[in-house]
Amino acid sequence: MHLLVAGKLHPSGEALLRSLPARGVSVDYVEEVSEPSYAPLIAKADALVIRTQPLSAATIAKATRLKVVSRHGVGYDSVDLAALNDRGIALTIVGDVNSVSVAEHAMMQLLAGAKRARQADLAVREPGGWGWRNKLEQQEISGKNLLILGYGRIGRHLARMAAGFGMQVRAFDPYLQRTGWPEGSVEPETDLHTGLRWADCLSVHVPRGEKPIIGEAEFAVMKGGMILSNTARGGVICEKALVGALISGKVAAAGIDVFDTEPPPADTPLLAQPNALLSPHIAGLTAECGERMALASIENALDYLAGTIDRHLIVNPDFAHV
């Protein structure tokens, strides 16, 4: 049995990899997070553990022995799922290991945006900047309206945190409105534009679709001075429209952890916006979460090969040879 691991893992994951030969599992470990770095090794792999780098149909075609792809996380938009389905290769995710970490990051972005944390830091560091404090740009979030797009585990954790700051919370999630709304005090918002007109703050927690859920039309209906957080995926918010909204003041501050292209090119307009607080797709990469994801992604691959996988962790059970 041969395991290919593509992307650097938490030290606990690396320790687990070192123990695998004693269990009859050989390992290739490629720390670089890119498709070309691991693709030459995929032909001999029975299982692949992969981080955020692409897995294309061309690479899958070379994987003649591959039975399972185990994502080091919960999203899989960079994986060609149709190509895996055509071959009967399973795709697994790690389950609920990062929801608290991501929700905390989103709460941090909302707070940093309201308190203008980036501008405040620069005011101290830059000569003559101290007087910025007298502009009174900082805001309180207590009593403000927060709209959460996507009310899964992350959204629910965020709602609990925001309630602790005295925010009024609504959520927009058409899927849950059809299948059953979770218990609790957060009410569903049935119309996105109505919710955006109501909101002072917005946090996005939905998967990437064929087009952005927040584009020009959505920015147009928002209140001026919106505080925005995106820890979901690049492409969920139209970057071009977001830049325009940051420049115009429609969005007063934005915390952005995910980008259309990762890492974003140096000439990406969003990088030049002083009211955008940016981070390198790290919302789910706390030390604690990184350890949980590393261990779970390895064990998922091994459990699948052993026939003991929790089927709820298989993205494509109807296609996979379980």
> 193 an active-site residue?
no
187 with 89, same domain: the answer is no
Handedness of CA 198, 202, 206, 207 (dihedral sign): positive
* Any domain includes 72: yes
Give the C-alpha separation, 121 to 106, whole Å. Answer: 19
Q: Which of 118, 137, 281, 291 is catalytic?
A: 281
Token pair listed for 185: 């005090």
pLDDT at 322: 63
Domains of the chain: total? 2
Residue 322 is assigned to a structural domain of this protein = no
Q: Are 110 and 259 part of one and the same domain? A: yes
**Do 160 and 206 share a domain, yes or no?**
yes
The answer to whether position 184 is within a domain reads: yes
What's CA 47's distance to the chain center, in Å? 24
Does residue 233 carry a catalytic annotation? yes
Whether 202 maps to a domain, the answer reads yes
Domain range for 298: 2-96+286-313
Structural domain contains residue 321: no
CATH number at residue 141: 3.40.50.720
Is there a domain that residue 320 lies in?
Answer: no
**What is the C-alpha to C-alpha distance for residues 48 and 308, in angstroms, rounded to an integer?**
17
72 as an active site residue: the answer is no
**Contacts from 42-48 at CB under 8 Å and sequence distance 24+?**
42/4, 42/66, 44/2, 44/4, 45/2, 45/3, 45/4, 46/1, 46/2, 46/3, 46/305, 47/1, 47/2, 47/3, 47/4, 47/301, 47/302, 47/304, 47/305, 48/3, 48/4, 48/5, 48/6, 48/301
Q: 222 and 125: one domain? A: yes
Q: Does a structural domain hold residue 319?
A: no
141 token code pair: 């979030």
- Residue 164 maps to a domain: yes
Q: Taking the CA of residue 64 as centre, how many other CA atoms within 13 Å lie in the half-sphere pointing to its CB? A: 3
Chain-centre distance of CA 309, in angstroms? 24
Does residue 223 share a domain with residue 132?
Answer: yes
Statement to judge: residues 176 and 247 lie in one domain: yes
Question: Which member of 205, 233, 292, 299 is catalytic?
Answer: 233
- Asked if residue 192 and residue 55 are part of one domain, the reply reads no
Q: What is the pLDDT along the chain (322 residues), one digit of tens a residue?
A: 999 999 999 999 999 999 999 999 999 999 998 999 999 999 999 999 999 899 999 999 999 999 999 999 888 888 999 999 999 999 999 988 889 999 999 999 999 999 999 999 999 999 999 999 999 999 999 999 999 999 999 999 999 999 999 999 999 999 999 999 999 999 999 999 999 999 999 999 998 888 999 999 999 999 999 999 999 999 999 999 999 999 999 999 999 999 999 999 999 999 999 999 999 999 988 999 999 999 999 999 999 999 999 999 999 999 887 6
> Do 127 and 264 belong together in one domain?
yes
Which one of 14, 35, 137, 262 is the catalytic residue?
262
For residue 29, the model assigns a pLDDT of 98
Indicate if 121 and 227 belong to the same structural domain. yes
Q: What is the pTM of this model?
A: 0.84
- Please tell me whether residues 73 and 54 are part of one structural domain: yes
Residues 118 and 30 placed together within one structural domain of the fold: no
Cα separation of 73 and 95, whole Å? Answer: 8
Looking at the structure, do residues 265 and 190 belong to the same domain, yes or no?
A: yes
Strand partners, 187: 170
